[in-house]
Amino acid sequence: MVLTPPRLSSIMCRIFAACSAWISLQHCQAKHRAFACLFLLSLIIMPFTPNAHAETASCKPWPLWQAYWSHFVQGDGRVIDHGEYAEPSYSEGQAYTLFFTLVANDRSRFDLILNWMQREMAQNDLTRFLPAWKWGQRQGSDWGVLDSNPASDADMWLAYTLLQAGKLWQAPEYTKLGQAVLQNIKQHELTYLPDAGVMLSPGAEGFNEAEMWRFNPSYLPMQQLRYFATQDSAGPWASIREHSLKMLNEVTPQGLVADWVAYHKPDGWGVDKVKGPLGSYDAIRVYLWAGMLHDKDPAKAKLLGRLKGMAQAIKALGHPPMQVNTLTGASEGAGPVGFSAAVLPYLQALKQTAALQAQNQRLQAGLQAGYFKDLLGDPPRYYDQVLGLFGQGWLEQRYASRRMAAWKRSGRAAAADA
């Protein structure tokens, strides 16, 4: 075999990862070392992937990730939102961070995040309980669950990441746990709409009223629904994906999506009467997920075409707006730097080169120095970092490598799963 520069770079990357892991191994318990040694060997001898650049990108230092971990993750694995009073933790933050530990191929941090989430948010048993949405300081001095209602976006990311970890690390315990979480989602978070079929509710309770059902479009990444359909072919995932695409088609008259929408009986999809036709912090993720769809996914072109309102707003303003009215198309304010990160995959997919460069420059300009070095925004907020990790990570191909196979599927697989 000829060691071309990309292959040589890939080997060096694996050796570097193996050396780093060996240092960590010295602190492992003896009973884990045999398995860990096999893992280290696999880093070096695993088959080469066709996309050497993508694999190399996943091994490069990632300053934003390291800064995020240092400032927002506690030593025991709790992800903290410093922007709120009492600095709570949310299941979404735990699930997102779990995903990024997988992207970083860092199993020790993966277990740290997972164990805290299971112990503190799921009564120490994720096979039976979905994680509580919010955890923090109660009245007085004790800490614990503040809102036990689960959030389906966190649960989806948790199940997806566990299933991927089981496959990519050859760890059946993660696969089994991911399957259990998926079953609990089906048991507790599905709702059935008259004349519209099955949908994923934002949580286990509190979102259905008399003849009105409320939904959060950003809780429904099409990639995950497609992947779940391949893992649970008898499940509702393909139907939920189809109904979600129809929902997005019907609630975006100006090419913009709201944070919350509603299904009304007998009128069908429309404005959520509680939150109104406003899109902001939640909805920005819809453009992010759409941009990250595989190019051969039949839904991608239609979805991007339906969501062009955000690209038009960015072109007019020079940045993503803080808030949009999905009925009138009006916008106001400048979105934080995390919004610019979130639209990077979306603008890349639309081939909006000038806008892509401008938002990436805004992202780079938002990086801090000093104590908050490599974090986004002033002050740095948890949500901006997460959007930055998703958007920047995608642009740098950090999880379009073999380690995140579900995000980089062949055209045939993407079409078959759609």
Query: Is 91 among the domain residues?
Result: yes
Question: What kind and span of H or E run contains 109?
Answer: helix 107-121
Annotated active-site residue 153? The verdict is yes
- The pLDDT value given to residue 196: 87
The residue annotated as part of the active site, out of 153, 155, 272, 417, is 153
Burial class (CB in 10 A: 0-12, 13-18, 19+), 198: middle
Q: Among residues of the chain, what percentage have pLDDT more than 90?
A: 73
Q: How far is 279 from 120, CA to CA, in rounded Å?
A: 32
Query: Is 181 among the domain residues?
Result: yes
Query: Is 6 among the domain residues?
Result: no
- The pLDDT value given to residue 48: 32
Structure tokens at 8: 């040589």
Query: Is 328 among the domain residues?
Result: yes
Phi-psi group of 285: left, alpha or beta (phi > 0 → left; psi -120 to 50 → alpha; rest → beta)? alpha
Q: How far is 19 from 360, CA to CA, in rounded Å?
A: 33
- The pLDDT value given to residue 370: 78
Check: CB of residue 213 under 8 Å from CB of residue 263.
Answer: yes
Annotated active-site residue 297? The verdict is no
Three-state SS at 399: coil
Q: Looking at 366-409, list the stretches that DSSP marks H as alpha helix, in order from N- to C-terminal side.
A: 382-395
Query: Is 248 among the domain residues?
Result: yes
Phi-psi group of 200: left, alpha or beta (phi > 0 → left; psi -120 to 50 → alpha; rest → beta)? beta
Strand pairing report for 197-200 and 143-147: unpaired
CATH number at residue 330: 1.50.10.10
Query: Is 306 among the domain residues?
Result: yes
- The pLDDT value given to residue 195: 86
Query: Is 1 among the domain residues?
Result: no
Q: Provide the residue range defining the domain that includes 194.
A: 49-417
- The pLDDT value given to residue 139: 83
Among 295, 134, 269, 97, smallest CA distance to 194 is for: 269
Task: Give the chain's end-to-end CA distance (angstroms, integer).
Answer: 37
Query: Is 22 among the domain residues?
Result: no
> How would you write the pLDDT of the chain (418 residues) with one tens digit per residue?
333 333 444 444 444 444 444 444 444 444 444 444 443 334 333 333 333 333 445 567 899 999 999 999 999 999 999 988 788 999 999 999 999 999 999 999 999 999 999 999 999 999 999 999 999 998 877 999 999 999 999 999 999 999 999 999 999 999 999 999 999 999 999 999 998 899 999 999 989 988 999 999 999 999 999 999 999 999 999 999 999 999 999 999 999 999 999 999 999 999 999 999 999 999 999 999 999 999 989 899 999 999 999 999 999 999 999 999 999 999 999 999 999 999 999 999 999 999 999 999 999 999 988 789 999 998 999 999 999 999 999 999 987 654 554 555 433 333 333 3
Phi-psi group of 88: left, alpha or beta (phi > 0 → left; psi -120 to 50 → alpha; rest → beta)? beta
- Give 137's strand partners: 143
Number of domains observed in the structure of the chain: 1
The residue annotated as part of the active site, out of 92, 155, 189, 374, is 92
